[in-house]
Structures are given as C-alpha cells and as structure tokens.
Amino acid sequence: MYKFLLSLLNSKAKKTAMLMLILVSFGAAVMMIPSEIVLAKMLPGKNNDTFTITIDLPNGSSIIETEMLSSCVVTSLQQEKEVTNIETFLGTGAPLDFAGLIKGSHLKNSENVAEIVVNLIKGHHRTENSFYMVQRLRPLITESCAKLKHGTSIKFVEPPAGPPVLAALVLEVYGDDSVVLRDIALKVESIFKKTAGLVDVDIMQDEEYEKYEIVVNSEKITKSGLDIKQVNDILYLAFEGTAVAVKNSQLYDDQIALFVTLQNSSKIFEDNSKKAVLNKLSSIRLMNQRGMMVPLTEVVSVEKTTSNPMIISKNLRQMTAVLAETDMVSQVYPLIDARSEMMELFEDEYEVSTEGLFNLRLVSKKDGARYVLNFDGEMEVTIKTFIDLGAAFIAALILIFLLMVVYYKSFALSGIVLLGSFISIVGVIIGHWIMTMINGETFYLTATSLIGFIALIGISSRNSLLLIDFAKSLINDKGLEKRDAIAFATTTRSKPIFLTAAAIILASMLLVGDAVFGGLGVALIFGTLTAVMASLILVPILLDSSDLSEPSK
Amino acid sequence: MQTNSYKPHDIAGKFAAYFIRSPLTPVLGIFLLFLGYISLSIMPREENPQMVVSGSTVIIALPGASAKEIQRVIINPLERKLKEIKGIDTIMSVAQDNFAVTNASFVIGEKQDASNLKIYDKIMQNMEIFPQGAINPIIKPLDIDIDIPIVSIAFYASDTSMSPPQLFDEVKNIQHSINALDNVAITNIKGGHKHQFNILVDQNRLSAYNLSLGMIVNSVKSLAYNVPEVKNRTKDNKIVLLGIKNAIDNENDIGNIIVAIHQGSAIHLKDVATIEDGKDFQNYQRAQISVGDHNHTFSPLQDQVTLTVSKLQGTNAVNISNSVAKKLELMSASLEKKGIKYVITRNDGERANEAVNELVYHLVLSIIIIAVLLVFVLGWRESIIVTFTVPAILAITLFVAYLGDQTINRITLFAFLLSLGLLVDAAIIVIENIHRHLHSPEADDKSMDDLMIEATDEIGAPTNVATFAIILTMVPMLFVGDMMGQFMKPIPLNVPVALVASLFVAYIFTPYLASRMLKKKAH
C-alpha cells in the first residue's frame, strides 16, 4: 500500500492517468441516467397482503349491472390459490385507507361504482409478490369482465410504498370550453391507452346518457284542481318510494320506517322508450280537490334529453383530467412517449408550445382559445421530491464545504474533501446498473437512493478528514517529507477506513432486499466502495499538489 | 495510579478522562439501556409515519339546479371565498345536478385544527353568498387518524335463515361493546340494512277501487301516530298513567288498515298492496364476502356487514387491534350460537407490529454481522466493546424520539439501519486508535488510563468535525416539502441524534471498557 502510493505520487504520468480514469468513469456514470441505462422512479412497488379493485360503470348504470360485473371479477379471483377472502362493496367505497382517501373513495355513493378488497395470505407464506399478482391478473380480469358493459373501467389499487397519490400519471386539461375540454381529454385518453406501460386509463368526466324529463304543465294542473307539490310527491313516491311514517320499536335499535312505493310489476318500464315511460305514468292517477281521479299523463308531458355531465374545477379553473397507472415501470418514460405523441396529434388544430418541464400549452388555430395540459400525480410528486432532494444535496455540499473551511482555514483542502465525497456518485449509479444486471429486472434509482447518496457525502468526507488530519500532524509534528507523510498516513488510516466501510456495507446488505429502501442499500454499498477508493487514491493525489503545512503554527 | 498525567485538549479526551474511573459510568450505561427498552415497548407503533394532511370537504345541495347552475351560483363564489384563506394549496370542485362538492386541501404540514377552523369560519361568515333554496352546507374535515380505520371485521350469517336487518342489529350490539374499548375513536358499519315495513302498492288494484296513492299515504300516516302517555288522577289523588299503544305492531296490523269504504264494504291496505316486514331495499349500498378455506375453495358471495374501528391520534395501533381481536374472541362462542361468523379483514396493528419486529430483527442481525467482522480484524474483546455501544446509542435515540412524540414505524427503523453503519464508526475509530497505541512501542512507559485518554483525545477533533459533517448533510433533508418530505422526516430527525449519541458513547464507554478489558501487548 505504502509503496504503491509512493510510486503513484512520484510519477507524474501515473497521476495524470489515474485522474483521467476517474474523470472518464465519472462521465460514463452520469451519462447512464439520460441514456436510460439506469432508470429513475420515485418509489418502487411494495409487497402487500392486500389490494383493492375499483369498478366504475358508465354513469346511469344500475346496481344490478354493477353487481353482475363485480361477481365476474370475484369469480376470476376465486381461482387464485393465495387469496384468503374477497369483499365487495357495491354502490359505495371499501373501508377507507390512506390511498382511498386521496383517490376519493369515501365520496363514492352511486349505483355504478363498486370496490373489491382482496386479502392475500401473509407475505412470508406467499410464493408470488403482490405486484406481480396484480400485473398478471390485470389483463385477465379486464379482458373477461370489462366487456360486460361498454365503458366500464376496472382499476387495481395497491397500497403505495410511500405517500399515496391520485394516480401514477395525471394529465389535467384546463380551458374554458367544456366541449373542447371533453374532446381533448378523449384524445389524450386514447393516446394513453396506446402507450406501452400505461394501464387502468380512466377519464375524470361523466359519460353523457339519455334521460327523460317530466315537464309539468302548470295551467292544466290548476285547471284540474291539483297542485304541483302533490304531483311531484306522488311521482317520487311511486317510483322511488318514501318513508311516510315511522314506528318506534322495543325490539330494534332503530325506528322502523313504513315505506310506501309501487310494486315492481306496477312501476318497472318495459324498455327505455318514451312510450314505455308514458304507459306507466298514465296508470298513475291523482285525486283532485273535488275528489275526482285525474290520470298523471293529463297534466305532464315527457321529453327526451341528455344528462348534464358534472363540471370539475381546480383552483378556480375548469378542468378535466385523464388518469393512468403504470404497469411495473416508472411513469417518466411512458410520459415522455405519450407527450410526444400528443404534440404530434394536436399540431393540426392547435399551436403547441411547451411550458416548464413537461407541460403543454395549446392555442386553437380557429379561435385563439387557450388550453393548458399539466402533468400531475405521482409524476409531479417525483419531480418535486427529486428537485427538493437535489437542492438538499447541494445545500449539504455547501454546508460541508463551509465547515471544512472553518476547520482547515484552507479552500484547497476543503475542495479536496468535497471532491472526494462527490465522486461517490459514480458508485451509486454504477451500483444500480450492476443490480439491474444481477436481478435481470430494472433496479430503479429512487428517492431513497438519493437519501443514501446524501448520507454518503458525510461518510466519505469523514474518511478524507481523518486522513488529512493525520498527514498534517505527521508533517508538522514529526517533520516527515510531504509525499512520505501522505503515503504513510493513507496506509495507517486505511485500516479504520476499510473497517468502517465494511461496517456500513454489511449493515446496508439487509436493506437491499427491501422494496422501498433497496435503493438506499445499494447506494450505500457501492457508494462506500467508491468513497474508499476515492479516499485512498484520489485524495492522496490531490493532497500531493496542495499545501499541507499549517500557516498558523 | 489515581491521577492522570496526560492533559486532554479535546472534548473527547475530557469525557474519557472524567468517566474512565467514575463509578457512575456503569450505572449510566445500564440506565441508558433501560430507557431504550422502556421506549421501545411503550412507543406507539405504526406501519408508516403519520402525515399531517389538512383539508375539508364542503357539500352544498340546491335541489332542482343543473350542474351548470350549481357551478355558477354555488361553486364559483365559494371557491373565491376559500381562495382568501392562507395556506390553502388546492381547491377542487365538482358540480353535479342538484349538488356541489368542494374539496379544499392545505399545504402539507399545516396544523390540522387551525386549518379546519379557518374553513369553517370562512363559510359561516359568508353564508349570504349562497343562493336561496340552498341547503345548509355540510363541512367535513379530513382527519387521517380518525377517518382511516385500523381494523375492519366482516360479519356474515352462517345460514340463510338470518335476514340482513337481523345481522345488522347484532353487529350494532357488537359495535357498542367494541366502541367501549380504550382509545377506540370511531366505529362504523358498512353494508348494514335496517328493518322496514315495505308497503308495495299494486297500481292496477288501486285503479279498480278508484283510489289514489295519496289516500294510501294518508291512511298509513294517521295510524302510525305516537302520543306520550296520558296522566290522570284518582279521587284520592293517586296518579294513574294511561299509555296509548301505537296501533301498528306487525305487518298484519298494517295490512288491516282501512283505506276507504267502497260500495259499503271496507277496503283494507292488504287488498291493494303487499306488506312485508323486510329491509330498506331502496338503500342500494351492499357489502358481500367470499371466504376461502384451507383447500382454496371459496364460499359463494354472500351479504356481510363490515364493522370498522379507528383509533385516537397518538395511540398505539397494535394494542387497540389486539384488544379488539381479544374482545371478538370472547364473543365468538355466543356469536356462533346465533349463527354469525366473522373474519378480520384488516388489521393494521398486526401489520405494523410485523413490520417493526422484522426490522428490529434486521437491526440485530446487522449488529451481529458487524461484531463478527470486528472479531476477525480487531479481536474479540474489542468487538464486544464496539457491539455494546450500538444498543446504548440506539437506546438514547429511541428515548429522544419518544420525547419528541414520534412513533416507531418503518421509516424510523430505516433511519436506525441507515445510521447503524455510521454510528459504529466513532467507536471503531476510538478502539482502533487505542489498539494501535497499545501495540506501539511507546506503550510501556505510559499508564493504562493515560493511554486510553490520549488515544481518544487524538482522534477527537477530526471525528467531531466528520460527525458534524454527516449531521449537516442530513439537515437539508428536513426541508424537503410535500408528502414525501413528511414521509421521510424520521430520517433527518433521528440520524443526527444517533450520531451525536454515538460520539458521546464512544468517548465515555469505549475507553472505560477498553481500560478494563484490553491489555498492553507484552514486548
């Protein structure tokens, strides 16, 4: 070690070659990110003991249709060996969890929705990871069940490893004209559906469906001795039913309602034609003030209209959103694909310009109306978190630099410590690449990898610190020659440096297996390895070309 | 050899010098370990760290208005008012026919109580913006702790004779006894159906008797009238109570209601309608369950009633779900007699406990691995010394976390795992330097204590600065925003504490133990 270092320090050519080698490996590692050799993702999937399937039928579907669809899904799930029980919640959301809270499951209350909770046997006894199971079941179930009712969306919701989001990928479309918004959203939906890696595509807007409107003729009502309230009440009573009275009960906890409505045989329409509606309405008769019976159809008429779709606004702007989940891939890469596809498609009708990192702005060529397409969801959170963590990283570097300047009163030495720490990024990135090679599946660079990287700066600066301190005291106290001192200090200090590195690597070994903190483990292991090499080779070389004698003494 | 001749310069050496002969040192060590153990056992456990997400949902109904009208007369003015509140991050509204739902969420980390109050105040102060005919707004604050149940139990009938309302009544009794358990906040029932007398009118027969629906309603109303008891006195001033029995007891009573007199004979309700003692069929919400047995064959989907239990903030999910499970076990025999079976379909307490225990196991395993490594490199005595420092450091960190109202969750334990590699460093560096000094030729001339103190003192300054450097790298992480920042918060909160603790433990206990366990090398 000592001899090797001395020979390295004494030969200018060797030093230059070493520095070049480090520089090249640094460049190569950094290039792995834009070239998509190492993929980035916020957080990887987590192996859960449960997942939820949400079913949304088109608006206006009945609970019977919803039940039929959910039974279809349950039948497929019953074939699974590792499922312990299946619960369905029709017309409402499942018991709330954190993901459900963000996705608005607690607000679900209509006949066309259902949620299915699937509980699996405990993780240790299971052969299949929950996300693999979901990935396998998704096409199977969607294919066999979604076709039962056109326009149904079936989504698979897994408890997220980190904080939950509305969806992996959300594209919000802002604009003033709801018809155009609808059109843009539908186009985006079709692009998402074609994009590889995106699944569970859904659009946050109601389908328009046919409905009938009963128009009350007030003149006829007055003439026939009825009043409008009476007509409305009876209509509601006949088809929906009303609890007209309650009975207190000794036996039961609740009051018992006396609920009046028409028998099914008297109220069910033959089909959804106007004739059938009129047919049933005509059989209902009302008694007027004079005690005479008036058929309902005498005073009302029936008109066919379409339903009013809901209007969504966010931060005071009208909006509609297209949601998609990712199928075991990072959302960044499908997003880039879908985005370029969108730019191409909208070019015909709009002036397309980009805004920020990914967002698009459309200006209509016809009337100059502006529409904004914003990406949100996990995407947004990922970008924000990575930017924040990047900022935290830079802040950490600056803080360490300042600390070193205070301690050493030398910019050059502080710079060396910093550079020695920074170079560990090579190990972090290459580590992820090696893990991908070993595993055969993508090992994502995640937020936890970044946390590991930030922690690494501290660890490797400690190595450099101990080394520089020792070298300095050797020169100043024992009067050794500079190169000798550096080589001797490095050799002596290499033992604790190796030891502490080994401790970190061994402690991080167990992290690698974890879904969420795997990135942290890999970053620490490979980063520490690089940091050790940096402290033992790069730092001595740099020290050699700097001033080590203490100015104050 | 009572006096130490070596004069330490650094805080490291001073600590070492003070504690190396102090009788307090072992007491302190035992006390620290005890504190850590206590903290580990009483700190609330969760799977994921608590996140403060504040916000409220406002629901306003305006019957008869279309989605467009709702947007214009309710949502637009409401959103403008909400926009005035400081700290609001997003306002999202949905206008549908007849009603508006507006969701205002605050920037992550805003205080929950204050945020809820702000929204409530703003709406109450501005009631005049809502149109006539609008029903009073319903304001529902978001509360993760209380809104999200930690346990859910599905109850279902074991035979088909039990009607859904009967099951619902039974579950309501269970709900009451579970709600009485300590620290249980809210219990809720999903999928329940109430008893109801259904009067299903046959329109054809109604027409045949020349009756209208309105007449049926009136006759039912008139008979289901309840009055309080009548109080009267006897001649000798004693009170006699006259209870007036409600005329309706069962479906037969309802059927016998006379609706009209038709051609001299009475028409009863049962002549024009079918009456059943049934369930509230107009409530379309249902819950079903299918349970798999050991052979992986599933029971067919059947109706169930789910009971959900949520906990009070800051309480231990593990204890609560255990007590719920125990309570159910006590009741299981009587439930079985009634023909009710149950499955626990969610148990976050158990999940949290498993996650925590698994990580504690990992932590212990890591410590053992490091200890084994040190045995080979430094020797078994040195290894034991370093290994002892780890639980002491973790104990201090746990105790500090407990004082700071943190919980034990996955992320806290990952903070420990992350710091494990870092926190043995200080001890390793100290012990390595002691080791080196003991084995150096100058060792013979110096006293054991002096050697220890000098070795500790020597590496004090760079170790302090290096540890401080690592702490500095963690600090900016506190300022990472959004949910992810909240989620990771235990890392920047706990790693620095662990590192500071590691310094003190290394300076206090390592020389103390080393001076008793290690010997000078014979030359």
Which of B296, B343, B485 faces A388 most closely, judged by CB atoms?
A: B485
Q: Are B147 and A520 within 8 A, CB to CB?
A: no
Residue B521 pLDDT grade (very low, low, confident, very high; cuts 50, 70, 90): low
The number of angstroms, rounded, from the C-alpha of A316 to the middle of its chain's C-alpha atoms is 24
* Nearest CB to A91 within list B285, B296, B466: B285
> Are the beta carbons of B467 and A63 separated by less than 8 Å?
no
Q: How many CB atoms lie within 10 A of CB A318?
A: 18
Q: Supply the pLDDT for residue A118.
A: 92
Q: Find how far residue A20's CA is from the centre of its chain.
A: 41
**Which of B68, B152, B485 is closest, CB to CB, to A311?**
B68
Residues B137 and B81: beta-carbon distance below 8 Å: no
Distance of CA A351 to the CA centre of its chain: 30
CA distance A86 to chain B (A): 5
Confidence of residue B412 (pLDDT cuts 50, 70, 90): confident
Q: Which of B288, B307, B454 is the best residue to mutate to test the A interface, defined by the most A CB atoms within 10 Å of its own CB?
A: B288
Note whether A196 and A328 are within 8 A (CB). Answer: no
Contact across the interface for A85 and B290, Cβ inside 8 Å: yes
Handedness of CA B159, B161, B163, B166 (dihedral sign): negative
Q: Which of A510, A529, A532 to mutate to test the interface with B (most CBs of B within 10 A)?
A: A510
Minimum distance, in Å, between the CA of residue B427 and any CA atom of chain A: 10
Can you say how many angstroms the Cα of residue A106 is from the centroid of all Cα atoms in its chain?
19
Q: What is the pLDDT of residue A549?
A: 60
In B, minimum Cα distance to A47 occurs at: B355
DSSP state of A117: E
> Tell me: the pLDDT tens digits for B160-184?
788 888 888 889 889 999 989 888 8
Q: Which long-range contacts (CB under 8 A, 24 or more apart) does B501-504 make?
A: B501/B392, B501/B393, B501/B396, B501/B397, B501/B400, B501/B423, B502/B389, B502/B393, B502/B419, B502/B422, B502/B423, B502/B424, B502/B425, B502/B426, B502/B427, B502/B467, B503/B12, B503/B426, B503/B463, B503/B464, B503/B467, B504/B15, B504/B396
Q: Inter-chain contact B196–A243, Cβ cutoff 8 Å?
A: yes
Asked if B148 and A314 come within 8 Å (Cβ–Cβ), the reply is no
Amino acid at A25: S
To which H or E segment does residue B242 belong?
strand B239-242
Contact A87 B304 (CB under 8 A): yes
> Could you tell me which of B130, B30, B142, B146 has the C-alpha nearest to residue B76?
B130
The average pLDDT across A470-485 equals 80
CA distance, residue B522 to nearest chain A CA (Å) = 22
Task: Tell me which chain B residues have a C-beta less than 8 angstroms from the C-beta of A258.
Answer: 196-197, 199, 220, 224, 248, 254
Q: Could B473 and A454 be called an inter-chain contact, meaning their C-beta atoms sit closer than 8 Å? A: yes
Confidence of residue A253 (pLDDT cuts 50, 70, 90): low
Rg (CA), chain B: 36
Chain B hits for A502, Cβ within 8 Å: 373
Separation in Å, CA B305 to CA A54, B164, B287, B407: 19, 8, 6, 32
Nearest residue on chain B to A451, alpha-carbon basis = B477
For residue A553, name the pLDDT band (cuts at 50, 70, 90): very low
Kindly tell me if the per-residue pLDDT of B197 is higher than 70. yes
Q: Do A400 and B94 touch (CB under 8 A)?
A: no
Interchain proximity A466–B148, CB inside 8 Å: no
Looking at the complex, report in whole angstroms how far the Cα of residue B235 sits from the nearest Cα belonging to chain A: 33
pLDDT at B203 > cutoff 50: yes
The set of long-range contacts for B398-401, using a CB threshold of 8 Å and a minimum separation of 24, is: B398/B35, B398/B36, B398/B39, B398/B40, B398/B43, B399/B32, B399/B35, B399/B36, B399/B38, B399/B39, B400/B494, B400/B497, B400/B501, B401/B39, B401/B43, B401/B490, B401/B493, B401/B494, B401/B497
Are B209 and B272 within 8 A, CB to CB? yes
The answer for residues whose C-beta is within 8 angstroms of residue A325's C-beta and 6 or more apart is A155, A156, A167, A168, A169, A198, A199, A200
Cβ-defined contact of B172 to A287 (cutoff 8 Å): no
pLDDT per residue over B242-269, tens digit each? 877 666 777 788 888 888 887 788 888 8
**Strand B195-201 vs strand A256-262: parallel, antiparallel, or unpaired?**
parallel
Question: What is the distance in angstroms between the Cα of B416 and the nearest Cα belonging to chain A?
Answer: 10
CA-nearest of A409, A386, A518 to A468 is A409
A193: closest CA among A158, A157, A164, A169? A169
Q: Which residues contact A258 (CB under 8 A, 6 or more apart)?
A: A243, A244, A245, A246, A247, B196, B197, B199, B220, B224, B248, B254
Give ∠ CA B239-B242-B247 in degrees, rounded to 5: 170
DSSP secondary structure code for residue A550 in this structure: -
User: What is the distance between the alpha carbons of residues A526 and A46, in angstroms, rounded to a whole number?
Assistant: 23
Q: Which residues have C-beta within 8 Å of that of residue B119, sequence separation ≥ 6?
A: B56, B58, B82, B85, B104, B139, B141
pLDDT value, residue B247: 65
* Angstrom distance (rounded) from CA B295 to CA A424: 53
Q: Is B308 helix (H, G, I), strand (E, B) or coil?
A: strand
pLDDT at A53 over 90: yes
Q: Which two tokens stand for residue B93?
A: 């509204």
pLDDT greater than 60 at residue A415: yes
Chain B residues in contact with A83 by the CB 8 A cut-off are: 292, 296, 298
Give the span between the Cα atoms of B421 and A498, in whole angstroms. 12
Least confident of A397-411, A437-451, B283-297: A437-451
> What average pLDDT does range A405-419 have in this prediction?
83
Say if CB B337 and CB B162 are below 8 A apart: no
pLDDT for position B1: 41
A17-21, A247-251, A331-335, B319-323: least confident range:
A247-251
pLDDT of residue B109 exceeding 80: no
Please give the torsion angle defined by the CA atoms of residues B171, B173, B179 and B181, in that order, rounded to the nearest 10 degrees: -110
Is pTM, for the whole model, over 0.90?
no
Q: How far is residue B310's CA from residue B236's CA, in Å, rounded to a whole number?
A: 58
Chain centre distance of CA B520: 55
Question: In this model, does residue B442 exceed pLDDT 80?
Answer: no
| Cβ pair B369:A506 closer than 8 A | yes
Interface touch B190/A92, C-beta < 8 Å: yes
Please give the residue of chain B at the shortest CA–CA distance from A387: B480
Residue B210 Cα to chain centre, angstroms: 61
pLDDT at res. B323: 92
Q: Tell me what pLDDT residue B443 has.
A: 67
CA distance B400 to B395: 9
Q: Which residue of B has its CA nearest to A386?
A: B480
**Window from A324-333, A382-391, B354-363 with minimum mean pLDDT:** A324-333
Q: How far apart are CA A7 and CA A15, in angstroms?
A: 10
The residue-averaged pLDDT of A108-129 equals 87
In this predicted structure, which of A32-46, A279-293, A417-431, B339-353 has the lowest mean pLDDT?
A32-46
- Looking up tokens 């009476």 gives A230
The distance of B23 to chain A (nearest Cα, Å) reads 31
Can you say whether the dihedral through the CA atoms of B118, B120, B124, B130 is positive or negative?
positive
Determine the average pLDDT of the residues in B104-117.
84
- Taking the CB of residue A271, how many other CB atoms lie within 10 A of it? 7
Contacts of residue A378, defined as CB under 8 A and 6 or more positions apart, other chains included, come to A42, A165, A167, A168, A169, A331
Residue of B nearest to A78 (CA): B298
| A551 pLDDT above the threshold of 50 | no
Q: Which of B470, B471, B474 is the best residue to mutate to test the A interface, defined by the most A CB atoms within 10 Å of its own CB?
A: B470
Tell me the one-letter amino acid at B126. Answer: N
Distance from CA of A358 to the nearest CA of B (A): 20
Which letter does DSSP use for residue A174 in this model? E
Long-range Cβ pairs for the range B34-41 (8 Å, 24+): B34/B395, B35/B395, B35/B396, B35/B398, B35/B399, B36/B391, B36/B392, B36/B394, B36/B395, B36/B396, B36/B398, B36/B399, B37/B395, B38/B399, B39/B395, B39/B398, B39/B399, B39/B401, B39/B402, B40/B398, B40/B408
Q: Is B119 helix (H, G, I), strand (E, B) or coil?
A: helix
- Type of residue at A449: S
Q: Which of A91, A313, A459 sits opposite B470 (nearest CB)?
A: A459
Across A377-392, average pLDDT: 80
How far is A244 from B248, CA to CA, in rounded Å?
14
**pLDDT averaged over chain A?**
83
Which one of A48, A66, A228, A256 makes the best mutation probe of the B interface by having the most chain B beta carbons within 10 Å? A256
- Of A426, A320, A295, A437, which Cα lies nearest the Cα of A371? A320
pLDDT of residue A552: 40
Nearest to B290 by CA among A54, A116, A95, A53: A116
A447-478 vs A482-512: helix crossing angle, rounded to 10: 160
In chain A, which residues have their Cβ closer than 8 Å to the Cβ of B383?
none
Whether this model's ipTM surpasses 0.85 comes out as no
Partner-chain contact A389 B417, CB within 8 Å: no
Q: Which residues in chain B touch residue A513, judged by CB atoms under 8 angstroms apart?
A: none
Alpha-carbon dihedral angle through residues B446, B450, B452, B455, given to the nearest 10 degrees: -80
d(CA B487, CA A119): 25
How distant is the Cα of A199 from the closest Cα of chain B, in angstroms?
24
* Among A59-63, A116-120, A214-218, the range of highest mean pLDDT: A116-120
pLDDT in tens, B226-242: 667 788 888 888 888 88
Residues A455, B346: C-beta atoms closer than 8 Å? no
Distance CA A205, CA A311 (A): 8
From A129's Cα to the closest Cα of chain B, the distance in A is 16
Please, which residues have CB within 8 angstroms of residue B258's CB and are 6 or more apart in sequence?
A: B219, B266, B267, B268, B269
